[in-house]
């Protein structure tokens, strides 16, 4: 049996990867992006990020899989961060339903976090797209995953938060999506949770309650409006 060939890797500017960016998008974009996978640039649209807790509940995993399935059946590319929990469920559902997915990494392309997702990352790097703003020599630190979320918000035309606590890293992506004027959807059960304050804060700045996948489809592509939001 022949071994898999190594993935194709390109180093691109954000404009080469995504197409023209406005002034706000340029201000928050990394200088260069390293991309493994299908050599199709700019990336096709629409692209929707699905993010949330690493220690996700079983209901949240089921919701993620269902939403991702509906979106890919309507031609949407699923974007996520290759983390445990919601991210992994989103990537797996996209691939399992013959869709396409983009993994935005908090590590260089030649590393995997978590290690258990090595096989998944390799499959994405060969048959889909994996994107990192970090060169191979870069030592990974916790802040890199915050920067990854900012870049993921830039790559996605819209973002969905499925499940997240008050200190979840997914909240960084939510604020970045709003700052960029991209649609941000918050799954309905989060709004109903009295223990959480962040969903209402984001709703006040323009986030939308997600009750069914069609809510996302009806709001693509984004308007490009820039919203001033507080620093996260």
β-strand partners of 158? 48
Helix axes 143-155, 170-179, angle to 10 degrees: 40
Domains of the chain and CATH, by start: 45-107+139-217 (3.40.50.450)
The pLDDT, as a whole number, for residue 226 is 37
- CA–CA dist 18, 202 (Å, integer): 26
The predicted structure's pLDDT at residue 28: 86
> What separation, in Å, do the N-terminal and C-terminal C-alpha atoms of the chain show?
50
pLDDT of residue 220: 81
DSSP character string of 59-106: HHHHHHHHHHHHHHHTTPEEEE---TTHHHHHHHHHHHTT--EEEE-S
Instruction: Give 10-residue mean pLDDT values along the chain (232 residues).
Output: 70 97 93 96 96 96 97 96 98 98 98 97 97 96 96 97 95 96 96 96 97 89 42 41
Residue 109 per-residue DSSP state: T
């Amino acid at each position: 049996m022949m071994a898999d060939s190594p993935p194709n890797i390109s180093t691109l500017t954000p404009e080469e990867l995504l197409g023209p960016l406005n002034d706000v998008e340029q201000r928050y974009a990394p200088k260069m992006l390293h991309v493994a996978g299908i050599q199709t640039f700019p990336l096709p649209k629409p692209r929707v990020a699905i993010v949330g807790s690493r220690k996700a509940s079983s209901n949240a995993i089921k919701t993620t899989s269902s939403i991702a399935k509906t979106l890919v059946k309507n031609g949407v590319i699923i974007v996520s961060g290759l983390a445990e929990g919601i991210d992994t469920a989103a990537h797996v559902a996209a691939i399992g339903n013959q869709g396409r997915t983009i993994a935005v990494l908090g590590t260089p392309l030649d590393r995997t976090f978590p290690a258990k997702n090595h096989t998944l990352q390799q499959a994405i790097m060969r048959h889909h797209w994996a994107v990192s703003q970090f060169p191979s020599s870069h030592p990974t630190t916790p802040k890199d995953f915050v920067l990854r979320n900012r870049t993921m918000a830039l790559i996605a035309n819209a973002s969905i938060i499925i499940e997240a606590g008050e200190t979840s890293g997914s909240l960084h992506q939510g604020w970045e999506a709003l700052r960029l004027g991209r649609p941000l959807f918050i799954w309905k059960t989060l709004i109903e949770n009295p223990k959480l304050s962040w969903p209402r804060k984001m709703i006040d700045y323009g986030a939308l309650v997600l009750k069914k996948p069609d809510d996302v489809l009806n709001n693509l592509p984004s308007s490009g409006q820039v919203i001033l939001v507080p620093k996260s």
